[in-house]
Amino acid sequence: MTAPSSERPASSALDNEVAKFAAMADTWWDPDGPFKPLHTFNPKRLAYIRDRAVERFGRDMEQRHPFAGLSLLDIGCGGGLLCEPMARLGFEVTGIDATEKNTKIAAVHAEQSGLDITYRNATPEVLVAEGKTFDVVLTMEVVEHVADVDAFLHSCGTLVAPGGLLVGATLNRTMKAFALAKVGAEYVLRWLPKGTHDWKKFVRPSEFAAGLRVGGLTIDGMVGMTFNPLAGEWSLSRDLDVNYMIAAHKAG
């Protein structure tokens, strides 16, 4: 099926990034494939999102579907590694991605998992043009792949409903991130295919925060996500030098 032209990647998506992710799309759900880092830190980032949502919406995690009645948009959803666990927590989930192959694979996987998730091949500005808003907006490991960071973050902020929450994640533009996330992950550990990241496109925490503020959000906090090679484990930390997450909200 061909997506209508309005859904096609517009200004925030880069052709070379879309081609890169399309080439890897079959491997989204392989825990030892090219998306291994996303799989290994998924439990930590899911817990962070869940905790921020509990704070913001005051839900009871003892409930089977604590976030029932709340909408969630995952921008740059890839194969749905975040969408599926979020749907299981009760959110009404929409996943969008600039790469059509990703949303197709995500949709097949959701169906196999018995989950009701809406996937669309679209960039955030398409949903902004439609006037849509969501209680929770996620954009995790995406902003370092877009054409224009400020324009992209402005769209992300616009898509947050009043009183809503945004959680983002990316790689910091530091020498440490160059050594660990670029050289280490692509050339030494070979976790990621060579060329996955362009260090120059990594985003500093101050830049991420500024872009979201222009999009109408207030920053709640940031946390580092740090890999301990000896333990082979990720943990949340105060070190924002490599991987980090940011939480923000829109006044209600």
Residues of each annotated binding site: 45, 76, 97, 140
> Does the protein bind ligand SAM through residue 102 (CB under 6 A)?
yes
Site track for ligand SAM across 131-170, x = CB under 6 A: ---------xxx--xx-----x------------------
Q: For residue 153, what are the contacts with CB-CB under 8 A and spacing of at least 6?
A: 143, 168, 208, 211, 212, 214, 215
User: Cβ closer to ligand SAM: 68 or 205?
Assistant: 205
Single residue of 75, 153, 166, 209 touching ligand SAM by CB under 6 A: 75
Tell me how long the chain is: 252
Annotate 212-226 with b (16+ C-beta within 10 A) or e (fewer).
beebebebeebbbbb
> Does the protein bind Mg ion through residue 17 (CB under 5 A)?
no
Contacted entry of Mg ion, ligand SAM, none for residue 164, CB cut-off 5 to 8 Å set by kind: none
Residue 221: CB minimum distance to ligand SAM, A: 19
Residue 138: what are its φ and ψ, rounded to 5°?
-115, 140
Is the alpha carbon torsion for 35, 135, 234, 153 positive or negative? Answer: positive
Residue 37: CB minimum distance to ligand SAM, A: 9
d(CA 39, CA 165): 23
Query: What residues between 134 and 193 interact with Mg ion by CB under 5 A?
Result: 141
Contacted entry of Mg ion, ligand SAM, none for residue 78, CB cut-off 5 to 8 Å set by kind: ligand SAM
Query: What residues between 30 and 49 interact with ligand SAM by CB under 6 A?
Result: 38
β-pairing, 218-228 vs 233-237, is antiparallel
Residue 150: CB minimum distance to Mg ion, A: 18
Tokens representing 162 are 């009043």
Query: What residues between 7 and 26 interact with ligand SAM by CB under 6 A?
Result: 12-13, 17-18, 21
Contacted entry of Mg ion, ligand SAM, none for residue 17, CB cut-off 5 to 8 Å set by kind: ligand SAM
**What distances in angstroms separate CA 210 from CA 7, 52, 139, 151, one per listed residue?**
28, 20, 15, 11
Binding region for S-adenosyl-L-methionine: 45, 76, 97, 140
Q: Which long-range contacts (CB under 8 A, 24 or more apart) does 27-33 make?
A: 28/78, 28/79, 28/80, 28/81, 28/102, 28/105, 28/106, 28/109, 29/79, 29/81, 29/109
Query: What residues between 123 and 142 interact with Mg ion by CB under 5 A?
Result: 141
> Does the protein bind ligand SAM through residue 85 (CB under 6 A)?
no
Residues contributing to the site for Mg ion (CB under 5 A): 141
Residues contributing to the site for ligand SAM (CB under 6 A): 12-13, 17-18, 21, 38, 75-78, 81-82, 96-99, 102, 123-124, 140-142, 145-146, 152
